[in-house]
Amino acid sequence: MSKSKYPLVAIVILNWNGKKLLKTCLSTLFQLTNYPNYKVVVVDNGSIDGSIEIVKKYFPKVDVLALGKNYGFVKGNNEGIKYVLKKYSPDYILLLNNDTKIIQKNWLTEMVKVAESDEKVGIVGCKMLSPTRKITVGRVLIFRKSIGECNRSCDVDAVSGACMLISRDLISSIGLLDEVYSPYYFEDTDYCWRAKKKGFRIIYHGKATIIHLKGSSMKMQEPIYNFFIRTKNGLIFTFRYFPIIEKIKEFHRDFLQRFFLFFYAFFLALKTYRNFRNKKLK
């Protein structure tokens, strides 16, 4: 890419009551990113912790889309995508979690370079590290090769929505994230699979690296709620994409175990409640 031909990237950062995380994310983004042509939009899901005020005070160049309520990851990002498409008409949209930290100057340059290498590239993901610098590749369903330590580009079936570069051509072809997966879980995997069904390539690019705390917003919810949502959306995804015979083969064993544990826990709770009620009646 010549310097005069850097495609415009709109970075959409979804936030809900995460002002400390957001400040770190934005600070490192602006301090390190050397890509010359990008806009940043923070989509706020009705935060009450002063997140918007922090952005306006310390990052006046950042565009803020205040939704007024918590729409969850899927709808919140969709609102952000629609907003930047209308306002900036970017060549690419980058979905970036607020619990990420930029550690490379050329991370975005590397991702765009891969996206520009082939018109059939619809999505590019990056290598993600935990705060202790352990590799957490993200939710990638099936690798062509083992890429845990991969420092190059690899075609994969899906990448994590925590840092996902999406081409405008792909959005024009398949639309937005499917809100059937609201509020979160499996929406990114589904989006990648829809892209592949349309003939687009999904690329994991190991030379672009960020830090991801992983699940910071989800930790604000009750574990049983997260478990229910993950189970529900996992079932939706599995029955949507796998033939009936393959459903059983491909369905993750630990996922099924969690599914049955959920009902086991429910019946235990019900039994405990009945015992308590019977004792109280006596």
For the stretch 9-45, pLDDT in tens is: 999 999 999 999 999 999 999 999 999 999 999 999 9
Structural tokens at position 60: 């006046």
- Which residues, 6 or more positions from 223, have their beta carbon under 8 angstroms from its beta carbon? none
- Domain end position, chosen among 193, 220, 247: 220
**CATH number, domain with residue 144:** 3.90.550.10
The tens digit of pLDDT for each residue in 59-71 reads: 999 999 999 999 9
Count of domains in the chain? 2
| Strands annotated E in the chain | 9-15, 38-44, 63-66, 92-97, 100-102, 121-129, 153-155, 163-167, 201-212
Both 100 and 20 in a single domain? Answer: yes
pLDDT at 139: 45
Assess whether pLDDT exceeds 60 at residue 143.
no
190: tokens are 């589904």
Q: With a cut of 50, say whether residue 189 has pLDDT above it.
A: yes
* pTM > 0.85: yes or no: no
Q: Are residues 204 and 252 in the same domain?
A: no
Residue 184 has pLDDT above 70, yes or no: yes
pLDDT at 108 over 80: yes
Last residue of a domain, one of 220, 241, 273: 220
**Is residue 255 domain-shared with residue 122, that is, in the same domain?**
no
Among the ranges given (77-86, 108-117, 140-149, 254-263), the one the predictor scored with the smallest mean pLDDT: 140-149
Query: 137 and 246 share a domain?
Result: no
State whether 188 and 277 are in the same domain: no
Q: Which domain holds residue 257?
A: 223-281
What's the pLDDT tens digit per position in 84-98? 999 999 999 999 999
pLDDT at 218 over 90: no
Q: Which residues of 145-177 are buried (b: 16+ CB within 10 A; e: fewer)?
A: eebeebeebbebbbbbbbbbbbbbebbeebebb
Please tell me which of 149-163, 188-202, 238-252 the model is most confident about, judged by mean pLDDT.
Answer: 188-202
Over 50: is that where the pLDDT of 192 sits?
Answer: yes
**Given this model, what pLDDT does residue 250 score?**
57
Final residue belonging to a domain, choices 205, 220, 235: 220
C-alpha to C-alpha distance for 94 and 53, rounded to whole angstroms: 23
Question: Domain check: are 98 and 190 in the same one?
Answer: yes
Do 205 and 261 share a domain, yes or no? no
Whether residue 219 has pLDDT greater than 70: no
Please check whether residue 202 is in contact with residue 159, taking contact to mean a CB–CB distance below 8 angstroms: yes
Contact 42, 63 (CB under 8 A): yes
Kindly state whether residues 94 and 155 are assigned to the same domain.
Answer: yes
